[in-house]
Structure 1
Amino acid sequence: MTPDILGRFRIPAFSVWRGRFSSSVGDLVSDRRTDRWKSILLIVASFACGRIAWSGEVLLLPLAVVFPLLWARASSRSIAAFVAAGYFLAASRGLPQGVGNFYATALWPGFLLWAAASVSFIGVHATVWTGRDDFSSGTKVSELPRAIRYLLAMVLTGLPPFGITGWAHPLTAAGVLFPGWGWRGLGATAILVVLMTGRRWQIAVAILAGLYVWSATNWTPPKLAAGWMAVDLKQGGTLGRDGSLASQRDLIDTVRKGAEAGDDVRVAVLPESALGFWTPTVARVWQEGLRGSNLTVIAGAAVIDSRGYDNVMVALSTDAANVLYRERMPVPGSMWQPWLRWTGQGGAARADFFGNPVVEVNGIRIAPLICYEQLIVWPVLQSMLHSPEVIVAVGNGWWTENTSIVAIQKASVSAWSRLFGLPVVMAFNT
């Protein structure tokens, strides 16, 4: 009778244990499947976020503020890295085609540069990521460490060395969300971005939506500087490569005719590389060509020596011709190649880090930005610390054909101009 009694008790107990075990395994498998789909959706959403925010339309920039939310919702460090990769690669998608155009070669070198450029952005965001739960200690992670970590990520990707490739920075959206607020608007945007990483992200999204609707409804383009004229050119890859005096005189005629057709134009701005190599002969030709006018011309050129070259802006008038500004951050890889200098080869563009953030033309303080400097954060913010009166942005975008790179540059400059309430002059060659 005893075995029968034991059987009656043991078999049901084993059945209950087996049922509970099966249920736990089923729940675990279900949770893993759910996490997998959530992770896939986060990566897809981050790609869409980067693609749309950085499409070249200034009013779409606030969508970049959603990226920190997607990053914070990642279930692991590896998923956070994939989320960062999706956002960055989508935002910089024009790079492979642009590199192919620049070097007149296949797309694969561009894909290699594209991947290399993403390493710092992805690495920073993967390193500072922290989960919602600390499974090693069994305790909950408070929101403060995560907020501090993302704040650190913003600083690191905004400043050198990581900020050298710090494209698609969410803080660029400050000019759309808080136009005219200046540094206060930048701080408010940083707070909003940090809130996106916390448990009350729904409130942050609601605030973002409200600010966006208000800004989009009341948006006005950046104002132009009175008495300034931008001379856009469509000379493609030939700009600056024809060193003949006839070419320089044709450019002078274009500038003078444009100034005469304008309203009291005193300063004309030409694109990056417009003058080609900067020499005493080029300076004299322009001074003679401007004789009889009160016009000052700001134009892009290259100053060459035995060690390499500087990508510069020069200022020309009948009375003077001098280098106005040396580019702080040339395009990494194609222009700025520090390894050549380290190995004693030379020949690449020099980076004048943190040099000449503000220069003066006709008594007006300007914030100069050449090409690549318009895609990253620290050059413009450094210039704003010195209270400029006008933003002057130039570029030579012929190599960006079939991409949105020039449009993104213009959108970024427009956003910074609106944030600080400054007039802007933009001159591009395409």
Structure 2
Amino acid sequence: MAWRERYSPSSLRFAGGLFCILGGALTGTIGWFGHVLLLPAGMLFPVFWAYAPSRAVAALVAAAHFLGASRGLPQGASIFFGSQYVIGLGLWFAAALVFVTVYSLLWTKVAGGPRMLRYLIASILMSLPPFGIMGWANPITAAGVLFPGWGWFGLAATAILLLMMTTSLWRIAAPIIAGFAAWSAASWTGPKLAEGWTGINTTFQYERAGEHAGYEQQRETIAMVREAARLGTKVAVLPEGALGLWTITTERFWTDALSDLQMRVIGGATAIQQVGYDTVVVEISGQGARTLYRERMPVPVSMWQPWRRLVGDGGGANAYIFANPVVEVAGIRVAPLICYEQLLIWPILQSMAMNAEIIIGPANGWWTGESNITAIQRASVTAWAKLFDVPLVTAFNE
């Protein structure tokens, strides 16, 4: 063509690389905008990654995708740590490092099967620990939008489409994705409701990281619970941290408050251990309380700090990476996803593999400020609930 004769191979290569990088930025920014129906946009990422003209450009495509998807992190981190915005920027780039490293090392010039296999390996690595601990912005999350109610078949179909996007078959896969996404948008309804279950959202603010719900805050929360009971709620789900530090005193305070109600409260709390602390979900009624769930994956750096144990400091949140994927409440198998876990892949898949019948999503987003972090969490957990056609109950403190 005449236009190709006007430009040198190096300039065309540069333009192609720039296009791929821009595409990566758009897939992350649009796909993780915070609206569940936009998640399929993230499925274009494999095309730009696969057709990058070099490994360096593939790394930049991955970085642009991840940074675009997690763009709220600098603001959130600066609020959480009470530090300058530059600290948040540093953590933002550090968080992208794992994603970028995996996808850049597994990139290949060899088209077809080898490239498809490399993408599959990268996706699996970013879905499971240890790399999956930073596995945000995974395009497979869109499965619930494309194939609501299909369960594991929908997950497999989405994976196949993503692999096709790394080859010349993207010309077939892209229209299929667009068609299913459009059909889903036209007929979209929210996840099922769980009869008698209610999530109670709150707007309590904290001055600094590590601050816990105090007496007055818990009294206000109890008032909300009692109002929910008056409206017929049988199980009320409270946000992460709503119960503050979980002690014998806190337990007695709550069981006394619920003694005249025929309902259960499921809420987040912090349980101090001999080594570090656990982020837990507790079930309470007027008859007593029990710890239901210990968080499988707390937020790295801000909560989960395994390096502190290497120097003899046992602080930080404990991670129960593959433990308690399903708990039972009132005879129902429940999949709890606390805050950060809503952005990852293996916690929800592990829970659904154990035949969970309902998903609960408590979270505490006081530190997210004006960012879209909590919106992305809601979109992700909504997509999973739709994929497996199970009820979803969320409870956010923002």
- State the TM-score bracket (shorter-chain normalisation): over 0.9
Distance 1:199 1:222, change over 3 A: same
Q: Do the aligned residues in 1 keep the contact of 2:213 with 2:245 (CA within 8 Å)?
A: no
- In structure 2, what is the equivalent of residue 230 of structure 1? 199
TM-score (normalised: structure 2): 0.96
Q: Does 1:302 align with 2:302?
A: no
The alignment's TM-score, normalised by the length of structure 1, stands at 0.89
Change (3 A) 1:240 1:257: farther
Post-superposition CA distance 1:211-267 (Å, at most 9, x none): 1111111111112211001110011226973433x5433321221112212xx3110
Aligned to 1:250: 220
CA distance in 2 between counterparts of 1:27 and 1:242 reads 68
Aligned partners of 1:315 and 1:412: how far apart in 2? 25
Equivalent position SS for 2:108: coil
| 1:305-324 pair list within 5 angstroms | 305-324=273-292
Decide which of 234, 259, 262 is 1:291's aligned counterpart.
259
Amino acid at match of 1:256: R
Counterpart selection for 2:237 from 263, 269, 285: 269
Please, which of 205, 220, 225 is the counterpart of residue 174 of structure 2? 205
User: Are 1:54 and 2:25 matched, yes or no?
Assistant: no
User: Pick from 241, 244, 256: which aligns with 2:212?
Assistant: 241
What residue number does 2:140 align with? Answer: 171
Query: Which of 173, 181, 186 is the matching residue for 1:217?
Result: 186
**Counterparts in 2 of 1:97-108, with a 5 A limit?**
97-108=75-86
* 2:6 is aligned with 1:38: no
Alignment root-mean-square deviation, CA: 1.5
State the number of aligned residues: 393
The amino acid that maps onto 2:60 is: F
| Counterpart code for 1:235 | F
- Secondary structure in 2 aligned to 1:268? strand
CA 1:145–1:242 in structure 2 vs 1: closer, same or farther (change >3 Å)?
Answer: closer
List gaps (5 residues or longer) in structure 2: none
Any stretches of 5+ residues in structure 1 without a counterpart? 1-25, 132-140
TM superposition shift of 1:189: 0.1
1:408 is aligned to 2:386:
no
CA–CA separation in structure 1 for the residues paired with 2:332 and 2:211: 27
- For 1:88-103, list aligned pairs within 5 A: 88-103=66-81
CA displacement at 1:27 relative to structure 2:
6.7
Which deviations, in whole Å up to 9, do the C-alpha atoms of 1:314-345 show, x marking residues without a partner?
A: 00001221111000000000000000112111
Within 5 A, what are the aligned runs for 1:141-160?
A: 141-160=110-129
The 8 Å contact of residues 240 and 277 in structure 1, kept in 2 or not, is answered as: no
Q: Distance in 1 between matches of 2:213 and 2:181?
A: 46
Distance 1:243 1:97 in 2: 26
Larger Rg: 1
Q: Deviations along 1:123-165, whole A, 9 cap, x unmatched? A: 111111111xxxxxxxxx4511111111111100111111000
Please tell me whether the aligned partners of residues 240 and 274 of structure 1 are also in contact (alpha carbons under 8 angstroms): no
Rounded to whole Å, the distance in 1 between the matches of 2:240 and 2:314 is: 22
Q: How far 1:115 sits from its partner (Å)?
A: 1.1
